[in-house]
Amino acid sequence: MKVLAFCGSPRKAGNTRTLLDEVARGVADAGGKCEILDIAAMNIAPCRACKGCFGTGRCTQNEDMDGLYDKIAAADAFVFGTPVYFWGPSAQMKAFVDRWYSIVHGPDFRLLKGKKAAVVTPYADDEPSTAQHTVGMFETAFKYLGLEFAGALGVTAGKEGEVRNDARAMEQAFALGQSLARG
Ligand SMILES: Cc1cc2nc3c(=O)[nH]c(=O)nc-3n(C[C@H](O)[C@H](O)[C@H](O)COP(=O)(O)O)c2cc1C
């Protein structure tokens, strides 16, 4: 089972990355492989709505997204990791998700059908509803993309990497990875 995880936080050792690393450990523990892509560090521009991808499935903007389409097509499951920024995903994550529009309009769209996708989202508030719009956006977008929602892990954590002190959250991240790897 090949799991592809996307990290939408600019903090290299942040809570999103820490949780995704734990998801990856869970995937490996269950016999799968997990690659984490640091999409926040990549050059991924917003969609320009030019419709240049219609039919081809490839964006006309030639930057780092070019190299990701084949990885996405080859993956068996996905994890979208993003901090909550103003009750939504980070701008880096949103730009990345918008670029899946190309996939919808190309031949690889059918390859997404039925693949599992999960969300990992830390936030500073201690109020779980803080993540509701972020999780809701992904859940609805997954439906549109033909992906199967495999759960969301929302965790309170503010300072960079402090989630590693939250044993329960780390266990949940590990278990999420295991369950994705088991299909
Ligand atoms: C621009 C910005 C906006 C944020 N907005 C929220 C918010 O709306 N609600 C919240 O609880 N935390 C908010 N936070 C805090 C982050 O979600 C929190 O620190 C999270 O753990 C960051 O994840 P990271 O360590 O992976 O970067 C915000 C942080 C930044 C930088």
Give CA–CA dist 181/177, Å, rounded.
Answer: 6
**Cβ contacts of 71 within 8 Å, gap of 6 or more:** 4, 35, 37
Q: Best of 17, 18, 86 to mutate for ligand 1, by most ligand atoms within 8 A of CB?
A: 86
Query: Of all protein residues, whose CA lies closest to atom 31 belonging to ligand 1?
Result: 85
| Identity of the amino acid at 51 | K
CB 139 within 8 A of CB 149: yes
Q: What is the pLDDT along the chain (183 residues), one digit of tens a residue?
A: 999 999 999 999 999 999 999 999 999 999 999 999 999 999 999 999 999 999 999 999 999 999 999 999 999 999 999 999 999 999 999 999 999 999 999 999 999 999 999 999 999 999 999 999 999 999 999 999 999 999 999 999 999 999 999 999 999 999 999 999 999
Q: pTM to 2 decimals?
A: 0.98
Measure 173 CA to ligand 1 centroid, in angstroms: 19
Which protein residue's CA is at the shortest distance from atom 28 of ligand 1? 85
Are 108 and 55 contacting, i.e. CB atoms less than 8 angstroms apart? no
- The CATH fold assigned to 2-181 is Rossmann fold (3.40.50)
Closest-CA residue to 120 (of 19, 14, 2) = 19
Nearest to 32 by CA among 93, 79, 82: 79
In sequence order, the β-bridge partners of residue 80 are 6, 119
Enclosing H/E stretch for 163: none
> Which atom belonging to ligand 1 lies closest to the Cα atom of 123?
17
